[in-house]
Structure 1
Amino acid sequence: MSIIFAIFKEGAPNEIPLHQYLRNLPLFSKSMKWRWVLCFLAPCLLFRSGLSQTVVKSLPGLPGDLPFYLETGYIGVGEWEDVQLFYYFVKSERSPKDDPLVLWLTGGPGCSALSAILYEIGPFTFDYDKSTRDRPALKLNEYSWTKVANIIFLDQPVGTGFSYANSWESYNINDNISAAESYEFLRKWLKLHPEFQSNPLYIAGDSYSGIIVPMLTLQVDEGNNAGLKPRMNLEGYLLGNPATNISSDRNSIVPFAHLKGLLSDELYGSAKIDCNGDYFDVNLSNAACVNDLEAVTKCLENIYEANILEPNCLLMAPKSTVGRAWDSSLIIEDRSLLLLPTPGASRVWCRSYNYLYSYIWASDKAVQDALHVREGTIEKWVRCNETLSYTYTVSDVIDIHKDLIKRGYRALIYSGDHDMVVPYVGTLAWIGTLNLTISRDWEAWFVDGQVAGYTTLYSYFPSLLTYATVKGGGHTAPEYKPKECFAMINRWFDYYYI
């Protein structure tokens, strides 16, 4: 790296990350500067940003060697491979050569793959009983989906988790770019791992990935049809609590809240009439509707939108989590009366407390070294990056779902039935517009003799779409009901009716 710096500035310190150093060069305009620099430094940049894969043998917080195969690495995408997407790959603990290969995209946009690993479907999670305020402890997740599938967890889009770019222009992204870069990543990953090219492939994700996953699945199919290599053995896709049509998703909140007893019959009836059933795109001159929705907001403001059984706590992320103690003062409790502990409760608890551990753990240099994160490539790790330069270019993917079903792919859509971010009633509504045949109507599914949710099987020969609710689940259902969601995915991968 010192040779590169010497071209421009004698004695420039080689410990400065290249992308930061080049950012300050006073050569030309931003765009011209990068074109000029890349012409001269392309070989060096490719060396700097080249493909990398490393097997991780152990992780801080988890005693001993890992009992599963974990690989981390970067794959460059885009022009000059300027965007470096970071991934975690976990082989199936059952039969890697036979089990499905899953590309998992966490939502947001901008939520790290580590969030899915630590809190949803990954092979390890936090051991809260053994964790201290400055040293989070890990434990194995007995309900990890990697017990039955090979999973690539991808930090996407760029700016998420440990993914980064060498130029600021590449951080300007949108839905179409995100899907295209994820597709390029997958093609390159499979070229590097040819032993998985014949495994059944599923594209998966939750929350905002409900927009990206169908787009990406369609690109994979079209790439196969165009003869692009490697040919992918695409079987279908799966989505949890998915954003699909942003307007209708949000418009379903008021009916859902009434259905769950969060709104009175009188208020709901008034809002339904005054707003004419439209609670999202409201005409502000409609004073009666505006007043009703203000009352609705007042009724719901103390409820955690991601799971209506929990209190709404406002999270203030720590300024610096390295070495910071786990501290409840990091949570803003502006509703102190609501959150007072009840008799017998040792302390006030909010789900946001769980998330603080990820900031402490992932920001630890020892953890980043173990994961082989490139030093200096990100300013700080955050679980969900809300500062992305992201343009929402796609607001409705229902037609893509229709297209994928017609092309013969199977799909699993599931919803935590206590999620008010993307309520299940809205998801059921758009599935109804697909005009599929109901093969098995709404009925309970069970785990250990208990109702775990309700499911419907739809068909459009030769495609099958399974819809399932997860009883008591919130937004990102496996976080709340890991056992039930593991049973669901295990059955679906094995082609059993849930």
Structure 2
Amino acid sequence: MAGYTAISLDEDDVTESTPLTPRGRYQHASSWLSHKLLLGFLGGCCLVMASAHWLAPLTMMSTVSSLHKSSEQGHPVQKFIKRNDTNEDDLFCGIAGQESGYIKLPHKEDDHYFYWFFESRRNSHTDPLILWLTGGPGCSSLMALLHENGPCVVDKDLKTQLNPLSWNNIANMLWLDQPTGVGFSYGAPGDFDENEDQNKLAKGLHIPLQGFAIGNGLTDPLIQYAHATDMVDNAYNLTLVSDKQKEEMNALVPECIRLVQACQHDAAVCDDALAFCHGNLVTPLFTTTARNPYDIRQDCPGQQGVGCYDFSYIEAFLNSPGTMAKLGVNTVRVPQWKECNFDINRRFSRDWMKVYSQLLPPMLDDGIRVLIYAGDADLMVNWQGNEAWTVALPWSGQAQYRNATHKPTLFQGKQVGYSRSYANMAFLRVFNAGHMVPMDQPEVALAMVDSFLRNEDL
């Protein structure tokens, strides 16, 4: 990252706002989607649905990747894509080619996944594809698109402004709302996603996956909750609890571990594990001093919005009739967009305490690149626990990774974090960032992704 140079945009481009000048009919950019695929994540507070949130969207991406290319070849998956054409002559988020629409899973009765795709501003034919999936579980990826790493951001006047630090500076980008019931995605009430169900579509389809990243994710609660109180000694010199409180909290760690272990074999215990571990080891860290659990640098006295943030203007923008029409939203099935669906969140609550790190070793040994990154101001899923589980992960390169030294991560000559890496496994701690690294450190996040795509040191 030390040698990273941000891509510059024309001066006229960065001043554009909604509606942008029509660029003429958009020419089916999805023909390139069979290129290399990098899967990117924003780990929500409980990014633990490894099969549901990793493998299933890859299956759907394979379907999307063949859409326009196969339209002339009669590919059998073509019929499962409903591409919206209403925004082709009125691009309103950035300057690159874009499309939106729905993906229907053939083995489900009524599942329709909403996607919004943008070409790379650099070279859409040779740049890789990044699929972004927001966690929660149950939160819309469009929030990240419009406030973190997408081609445009929405201001409080409900207009879009070009984002010069969008990840589509260096890659083709696709944001997907998942599971059904989240964002603009919809399905039959009794057809909510289950982990293994979605993998049925994968048979016979090759996914050109090159790597994936997880940001501030909960991947191994057995290890991560044991490190929850590490944030008492934080880089920001903030007092979260007293020394006595910390001692009392640490005394509860063994019981938390026991419950998490039991949860792996008995789903009925998972609710108790979540309530005990989170309630005793995480919640006191932010309630005692009214801090923002997603960024301890901020106060959160009134719990405004979801996670102490007020994104009501983004909700208003996405719920406007004009936006919905341009995106091709099925307003009969989805009359209103919400940042997070807490009914979905509750349905996945027993997955929160499941350990999913064991899914990584086969992928690492197959050469798939893995990046775990974490903002160091996040309390909900802290950086210490994230690094700890990567060190404990059993794979062929475990010893070398464990013995790897921390290297300073530089951006424009300034240290912005540090990394640990060996072969195709890497961990990055990002300074001065909370749960949403691309929002707090957009330049650093873009440089991180660029280095990862190039397979360079972070």
TM-score, length of structure 1 as denominator length: 0.64
2-side partners of 1:359 and 1:150: how far apart?
A: 25
TM-superposed deviation, 1:417? 0.8
CA contact (8 A) 1:267 1:296 kept: no
Identify the match of residue 143 of structure 1 among 153, 165, 168.
Answer: 165
Q: Which residue does the alignment assign to 2:248?
A: 271
Identify the match of residue 376 of structure 2 among 404, 417, 420.
Answer: 417
Identify the match of residue 175 of structure 2 among 143, 153, 168.
Answer: 153
Q: 1:111 is aligned with what amino acid?
A: C
Q: Which residue does the alignment assign to 2:449?
A: 489
CA contact (8 A) 1:271 1:292 kept: no
Q: Using CA pairs under 8 Å that are at least 6 residues apart, name the structure with larger relative contact order, 1 or 2.
A: 2
TM-score, length of structure 2 as denominator length: 0.69
Identify the match of residue 428 of structure 2 among 468, 473, 486.
Answer: 468
Deviations 1:209-232 (A, max 9, x none): xxxxxxxxxxxxxx5xxxx13x22
2-side partners of 1:79 and 1:108: how far apart?
A: 25
Q: Which residue does the alignment assign to 2:14?
A: none
TM-superposed deviation, 1:445? 0.8
Q: 1:168 is aligned with what amino acid?
A: P
CA contact (8 A) 2:226 2:253 kept: no
CA contact (8 A) 1:313 1:352 kept: no
Residues 322-471 of structure 1 aligned to structure 2 (within 5 Å):
352-353=309-310, 355-388=311-344, 390-392=347-349, 394=351, 395-435=354-394, 436=398, 437-438=400-401, 440-459=404-423, 464-471=424-431
Secondary structure of residue in 1 paired with 2:410: strand
* Percent identical residues: 24
Q: Which residue does the alignment assign to 2:17?
A: none
CA contact (8 A) 1:58 1:370 kept: no
Given the alignment of the two structures, is residue 52 of structure 1 paired with residue 82 of structure 2, yes or no?
A: yes
Q: 1:274 is aligned with what amino acid?
A: A
Deviations 1:410-448 (A, max 9, x none): 111110111111101111111111242138521211111
Q: Which residue does the alignment assign to 2:292?
A: 304
1-side partners of 2:137 and 2:286: how far apart?
A: 28
Q: Which residue does the alignment assign to 1:14?
A: none
Taking a change above 3 Å as real, the CA distance of residues 155 and 293 of structure 1, as seen in their structure-2 partners, is closer
Deviations 1:354-407 (A, max 9, x none): x11111101101110011112211142101111226245641111111221122
TM-superposed deviation, 1:175? 3.9
Secondary structure of residue in 2 paired with 1:252: helix
Residues 59-138 of structure 1 aligned to structure 2 (within 5 Å):
66-79=94-107, 81-127=109-155, 131-132=156-157, 136-138=158-160
CA contact (8 A) 1:254 1:279 kept: no
Aligned residues: 354
Taking a change above 3 Å as real, the CA distance of residues 276 and 83 of structure 1, as seen in their structure-2 partners, is closer
Once the two structures are overlaid, the 10-residue window that deviates more, 241-250 or 90-99, is 241-250
1-side partners of 2:134 and 2:177: how far apart?
A: 8
1-side partners of 2:282 and 2:431: how far apart?
A: 29
